[in-house]
Structure 1
């Protein structure tokens, strides 16, 4: 099967199937031409991001292609959620060792399922031969001047996170378990099928002063906010939201996983206290307050006795150790 047959069979139908749901989105031309065409509506800003996933680095060797299709798009769309953007379209550059039909069917199915759930359509891309690598660029829109950024945190702001942290990192030791127990299966679900917090990101446009998605670990990603904003913070490890499954499996080390392991794709935001007090109960219930922004630079950790954790930030592609 050649390159163009591969595109025609597995990816062109996906783009056509999701296009009707995007009428009025601004995508004028998608798969099948030299370029896609997107029209940005008046008073909207274009928000875009690119992610590259490499086999053996970002996902395991021999990883299930259906899970990979979902994860690849979820990881990229999570960046849109962190900016408070509405997804529109994405492009895919896919490098394959071979045109394996069974692999392509599973991958395309996972990608299509994710695209339909996230409301984002495949607009184009490229395929080539080589080590398994995926690069996805996602486009979204946000009302002019309302995009969430990393550089707006100020002294006194509350540090908040969505969801529960650490499950996906703890799931790594069970990836090759053919019959995982209930708690392990719960962690694996968080790793295989992350859920970008799109609706929450949009709701936070007028509330958060800064935001980031938690991809490399809370410690590392919160530091990005603090450095961009020129401030520091103290967080309470006992306040980190942990799932019952993670607590049972990791015990006293659970908070360490929540602090340092990646792949959560939850949101970490800073919120001025007066905005938090004025927020709806529904919005407050989607976030957990874990600390406060301070003037002194750096990230300080308060921990209870018996907690096992490291002061080292999370994942870094070019770390020596």
Structure 2
């Protein structure tokens, strides 16, 4: 099967590749064309997933299809952007029909959930890796960034933490668990749900935001540095799921929540007055700390207010470990 046959059979004909809102021209030409309403700007983000680094190899291609798109779209949620389209650069060792059918099926499921369309990309032969670029739109001046946190703001998250990281022993086949415990953890890992609706709701309310990909403390540090403030995280306020605690125990559950990554839940800062409105509207918001005057640091406190900030925070590529 040639590269172009593969594209036509599995991607051009895919449901997620059919033209949708904001897509003037999709797959089939040298470029795609996206239309933006007046007063809006384009939000763009790229994610690369490499076999053996970002996901186990081999793995279920249907689940990988969902996960690969979800982690990219999550960046649009963190910006408060409405999703439009995505491109896929796919590198695969062979054109395995079963693998391709499963992957495209998973891609379609997540694309439908996120209301985003495939508009182009590339396919090459080599070690398995996937690069997805997502495009969204956001009204000028309403975008959420990492740089607006202010002393006095509350530090919040949009859901429970640590479930995806806690699922790794299940993903890697190192442990088993009852289905009532394993299923929700595995779902958080393989099918994270980008918090697009919450991102839209935070426009004009949140002063900064980021999605949690590398770990809560590591991503909070991005906000702290960009905003030139200090963030204080209170360990006992972290929202943990029953499944995670039952599977990992309290200590490992907190470690997963703080440093594990792959949650793709929004962490954001908001003035107290805006929190009242968010909670009244039913958004799943948890206050986990606060913003203080400082110079780009993150402090973790225990139940009695002692500093227990770990030296290593989250996953970092290219860092040597002893």
User: After TM superposition, is the score higher than 0.5?
Assistant: yes
Match of 1:10 in 2: 10
Structure 1 partner of 2:318 = 318
Is residue 291 of structure 2 the alignment partner of residue 293 of structure 1? yes
Residues 262-291 of structure 1 show CA distances to partners (whole Å, capped at 9, x for unaligned) of 1100000000122223445124x4110000
- What is the aligned partner in structure 2 of residue 193 from structure 1? 191
Residue 18 (structure 1) shift: 4.1
Alpha-carbon distance in structure 2 between the residues aligned to 1:116 and 1:184: 25
Whole-angstrom CA distance in 2 between matches of 1:104 and 1:16: 15
Q: 1:81 aligned to 2:77?
A: yes
Q: Is the 8 A contact 1:28 1:38 kept in 2?
A: yes
The reply to whether residue 65 of structure 1 matches residue 61 of structure 2 is: yes
Matched-pair contact (CA < 8 Å) for 1:66–1:110: yes
Structure 1 residues 85 and 171 mapped into 2: Cα distance closer, same or farther (>3 Å)?
same
Aligned residues: 314
Please tell me whether the aligned partners of residues 45 and 145 of structure 1 are also in contact (alpha carbons under 8 angstroms). Answer: no
1:224-263 matches, cutoff 5 A: 224-253=222-251, 254-263=253-262
In the alignment, the residues of structure 1 paired with residue 8 and residue 278 of structure 2 have an alpha-carbon distance, to the nearest angstrom, of: 48
Unaligned runs of 5+ in 1: none
- CA 1:271/1:106 → structure 2, altered by over 3 Å: closer, same or farther? same
1:20-35 matches, cutoff 5 A: 22=20, 25-35=21-31
Alignment partners' CA distance in 1, 2:219 and 2:45: 17
Alignment of 1:47-58 (within 5 A): 47-58=43-54
Query: What is the RMSD computed on CA atoms of the aligned residues?
Result: 1.7
**SS, match of residue 57 in structure 2:** coil
**Any idea what SS the aligned residue of 2:281 has?**
helix
Q: Residue in 2 aligned with 1:152?
A: 148
Give unpaired runs (5+ residues) of structure 2. none
Equivalent-residue separation in structure 2 for 1:58 and 1:16 (angstroms)? 24
Shift of 1:5: 0.7
| Secondary structure of the corresponding residue to residue 90 of structure 1 | strand
Q: Shift of residue 194 of structure 1?
A: 0.4
Q: Does the aligned pair in 2 maintain the 1:156–1:292 contact within 8 Å?
A: yes
In 2, Cα distance between equivalents of 1:179 and 1:247: 15
Work out whether residues 256 and 310 of structure 1, in 8 Å CA contact, stay in contact via their aligned partners in 2: no
TM-score, length-scaled by structure 1: 0.94
| Structure 1 stretches of 4+ moved >6 Å | none
TM-score (norm 2): 0.94
Q: 1:16 to 1:214 in 2, by over 3 A?
A: closer
Distance across 2 between alignment mates of 1:6 and 1:195: 28
1:23-56 deviations in Å (ceiling 9; x for gaps): xx32110011111111222111110101111000
Q: Does 1:270 align with 2:262?
A: no
Q: CA deviation at 1:176?
A: 3.8
Per-residue deviation, 1:247: 1.2
Q: Is the 8 A contact 2:56 2:172 kept in 1?
A: no
The 2-side partners of 1:200 and 1:16 are apart by 23
